Chains A and B, each alone.
Chain A
Amino acid sequence: MRIEARGLRVSLKGREVLRGLSLAAEPGRLTAIIGRNGAGKTTLLKVLAGLIAPHAGTALLDGTDIATWDRSRLARAVAYLPQERLVHWALSARAVVALGRLPYQPFGAGESDADRAAIEAALAAMDAAQLAQRPVPELSGGERARVLVARALAQEPRVLLADEPAAGLDPAHQLTLFQHLAALATAGRTVVVALHDLSLAARFCHTIALVHEGRTLAAGAPREVLSPEHLAAAYGITARYQSIEGVPVVLPLDVLP
C-alpha cells in the first residue's frame, strides 16, 4: 500500500511543526525520514498513522484519505511504533508482542493459530524468542526495543511506520533490525522509519526523505539526498559520504559555524 502526504500543515501548541510537507512512500521500498531534532519527523509519522489530523493537506493511504478509513481496518493495515518505549505493566515480552494481534481478534476471542504463528515469527525475527517469558520491565533498553519492534511486526501490517526503532540497539541488533526491515520492504510492504543514523539510512534504505523545518527538503536515492549541500542545509554539518568495502558510510566531520 502506498502512503502519501500532500501539503500537510500541523500546528502543535501554537508552533507550526509541518508547513506544507509532501512525501510518498512506496510499497516494496524502505523509506527513511531524516532531519534534525524538531524537524517534524515524529509529527509526520503520527499524521501518517492517523493519530493527528492535519490542519491542512491530506494523508492518503492506498489513495484514500486516512481520516475516512475505518479504524479497525486501518489498524490491520498500518502499524505504528512510537519512539517512547512505554510498557506500563509488568507484562511478559510475549504478552506485549501479542498486543499486536488485537486488531485481528474480535471481542472475547482468544489467540488463533494465525495469531500464535505471527507472534512467534515476530519474536524470532527480532531475536527475542528467548525473552518471551520475561517481564518487560526487567529487560535492558535494547531488549525492550526489540520486543516492541516485534509487537509491530506481529501486527503483520501492509505499512510499518517506525519512529527511531534502532535507537539504543547494539550494532549487531541494529544490523539485524535493518536487514529485517529491508526484507519486509522487498517482500512488498511499505516501511517508513524515522532515524538519525545516516549510515544506516544510506546502507539499508531505498529512499530517503530529508525533512527540514516542516517541509521535504529533498527526497530520492540515498546518494543524492545525503549530499554535502543537503547535510549542510539541514543539519549544519560538514560530512563525507564514502564507501567502505562497498558499504556506504556517512561520516559527520564538523559543525558549520
Chain B
Amino acid sequence: MSGKPQRPGVAPPRLIGGLAVAALLAFALSLAIGPSGFGLGGAGEAADLIFWEIRMPRAVLGALVGAALGLSGAALQGYLRNPLAEPSLVGVSGGAALGAVLAIHLGLSQTFALALPFGGLIGGAVAMLAVVALAGAHGGPVTLILAGLAVSGIATALISLALNLSQNPFATVEAVFWLMGSLADRSLTQVWLAAPPILAGMAVLLFLGRALDALTLGEDAARSLGIDVARTRLVLVAGTALAVGAATSVTGVIGFVGLLVPHVLRPFVGHRPSLVLPASALAGAIFLLVADIGLRLAQPWMDLRIGVLTALIGAPFFVWLVLKTRAELAP
C-alpha cells in the first residue's frame, strides 16, 4: 500500500482492555493507601472500620465520579462536535452546586445529613429541565450551548447571592469548601445514593456511540444514515444530567476532567467518538483515583481538595491547548 504509513496506535480493544486493568489497579491502590498506613491486608477492628467507612466510599466515588465526568465530557464533545465542550457547559453541575449550596444555606444539611446530596440531585434535575426547555428539541448544538451557559450563569449568580447573604460564617465556609469538590469523608450511604443515577446516566450515554459516529458527517448525513438526531440530543442531556448531577451532588464541583480526558484519549482511538466514550469513562476513573491518591500522599504537608487539584492540572492543559491550536492554525 502506498501513501503514508499507518499511524502508530493501539488496537481499540487492547487499549480499552489496558485502561480497564489500569482502572482496577488504581482502584485497588486507592483502597490500600491512606494516612493510617495499613495496606489491603490490614487487620483489626479499627483497620476494618477505616477500610469500609473511609477508604471504600472514597475509592468507589473516585471511580464512579471520574468515569461519569470523563464519559459525559466525551459524549458532549461528540454531540457538539467540539473538543472544548465540558459537562459543566450544559448547566447541570451548576444546578447541582446551587441545590447543594441552598441546602447548606437554609440549614437543611444541619438537620438532615443527606439534604446536601438530595439538594444537589434536585438542583441538577431542575437545571436539566430548564436547559431542555430553553434549547428545544431541534435547535442544534449552538442553542444547547447557549441554554447551558444561561442556566449555568443563573446558577452561579444565585450561588453568589446565597454566599453573599449568608449570616452564618460556618455555613459559608462549608459551602465554599463543598464547591471546591472533594471525595473525602463521604459515607457509604452517600455512595448508595449517588451510584444508581450515575450508573444509569452512564449506561444511557454509552448507547450514543453510533449516533455520535454518524454525526461526524453532519446532522443531515447522520439523519440519512437512520440516526434520530433529536432523540440523541435528549438522551445526551438526560444521561449527562443523571451522571454529572448525581456526581456533583455528592462530591461538589470537580472541573476539567470531562474536558481533558476525552481530549487526551481521542488520538489513541482514531478519533472515533464511539470509541472515545468507553475509553474516556475508564481514563476518567483512573485520573480521579490517581489524583486522589496523590492528595492523600501529600496530605501531611498540604490538605488539598480534589476539585482544586483537577483545576490546577486542567487550567495549564487549557493553555497548552490554546498554544497547540494556535500552532495548527498558523500559516
Contact = CB atoms under 8 A, between A and B. Distances in A.
Interface stretch (A89-97, A190-198, A229-237): A89-97
A151 B2 CA distance: 21
B324 to A, nearest CB: 13
Contact of B216 (A49, A87, A135): A87
Interface in A80-94: 80-82, 84, 86-92
A78 B224 contact: yes
Contact of B218 (A75, A86, A131, A132): A86
A249 interface: no
Interface string B201-214: 00000010010011
A155 B266 CA distance: 26
Given A130-B1, A130-B2, A134-B4, A91 B224 contact: no
B216 A72 contact: no
A88 B218 contact: yes
B214 A102 contact: yes
B321 interface: no
Main secondary structure, interface of B, reads loop
A99 B224 contact: no
Main secondary structure, interface of A, reads mixed
B226 A74 contact: yes
Contact of B224 (A80, A130, A131, A132): A80
Interface in B106-152: none
Nearest to A80: B224
B322 interface: no
Given A91-B216, A130-B3, A131-B3, A103 B270 contact: no
Contacts of B226: 71-72, 74-76, 102-103
Contacts of A91: 216, 270-272
A96 B216 contact: yes
B148 to A, nearest CB: 19
Contact of B220 (A51, A88, A100): A51
B7 interface: yes
Interface in A128-163: 129-135, 148, 151, 155
Interface in B256-275: 266-267, 270-273
B217 interface: yes
A107 to B, nearest CB: 7
A89 B81 contact: yes
Contacts of A76: 226
Contacts of A103: 225-226
A102 B210 contact: yes
Given A80-B224, A99-B216, A102-B227, 14 more contacts: A71-B226, A82-B217, A84-B218, A88-B217, A89-B272, A89-B273, A91-B271, A91-B272, A99-B213, A99-B217, A102-B213, A133-B1, A133-B7, A134-B3
